[in-house]
A = this chain, B = another copy of it.
Amino acid sequence: MEHVVIVGLGLIGGSLAKAFAAHTEDYVAGIDTDPAVIEAALAEGAIAKEGTAEDLAHADFVYLCLYPQADLDFLKAHAPEIRKGAVVTDVCGIKGEICGKLAACAEQNGFFYCGSHPMAGTEKHGYFASYADLFKGASYLLAPCGAPEEVVDRLRAKAFSLGFGRCVLTTPEEHDRMIAFTSQVPHALACAYVLSPCCPKHRGFSAGSYRDVSRVANINETLWTELFLDNAGPLTAELDTLLENLSAIRNAIASGDRSGLCELLRRGRLIKEELGE
């Protein structure tokens, strides 16, 4: 049984707490600024108690599950309270902007830091959308940033016990480049897509394609504005790639270039086929 502190019981922090409760024997304390969330988490058994400085002083693991800047602020404010030798991680969707700062804080204060990013989510957010099986079979990205191998191994083992299906070692730079493509572009796209004047009239004319592209437009704009701006370089580059490829398809359609259009679509199909998807 290990002592775990989860800071921020939103969709990810809340689901981590519920996964710990469902799948481990660990003792989990939860911190959240919303008393209604703490009350619900206690009532549902997602946490054993509301987290305090004392929990940080006994922590084996601390999961920072706030927004990026808030994670930094929390760690700086509470670093002296955290047990020497504890393993601290975050769950942010961007890594380059924060990992270095969090790692430096860890080094100065005698605990360990390894960045992580659970590749799981829904179009909903907040504690009341959280659930124990959110991570079932999902990928868990680990950005060690200099953490000893033993620390990475402990976080990895914890991830598997929480239901993750796979762990991937990465660097903050690679992480941010890949996430720009796999996650951030689809979120930007969903918002851009639903801004069409046709969108409010889609009912009856739509099926799976509309549903899939628009799903994550139901966005937490405060969080995603921060995530997008923290990853402005790689994300702008990916958006430029998409704008270029989409414009090529648009231009082939507008000019009636049948073979050029067919070739662009064919290239898309072959990429998916080669991936076996």
Q: Give the B-binding residues of A (Cβ under 8 A).
A: 119-122, 138-139, 141, 166, 168, 170, 175, 177-183, 185-210, 212-222, 224-225, 228-229, 232, 235-236, 238-243, 245-250, 253-254, 256, 258, 261-262, 264-269, 271-275, 277
Contact = CB atoms under 8 A, between A and B. Distances in A.
Q: Is the interface of A mostly helix, strand, loop or mixed?
A: helix
B214 A277 contact: yes
Given A139-B204, A197-B241, A232-B253, A213 B191 contact: no
Contacts of A243: 243, 246-247, 250
Contacts of A139: 204-207
Identify the 4 closest CB pairs spanning chains A and B, nearest first: A191-B268, A186-B209, A221-B265, A181-B198
A262 B220 CA distance: 9
A185 B21 CA distance: 43
Given A189-B213, A232-B253, A232-B256, 16 more contacts: A121-B207, A186-B193, A186-B209, A187-B209, A188-B246, A188-B253, A191-B249, A191-B265, A192-B242, A196-B241, A200-B274, A200-B275, A203-B275, A221-B262, A228-B261, A229-B253
What number of copies of this chain does the assembly contain? 2
A219 B192 CA distance: 23
Contact of A272 (B214, B232, B248): B214
A213, A228, A235, A243, most chain B CB atoms within 10 A: A213
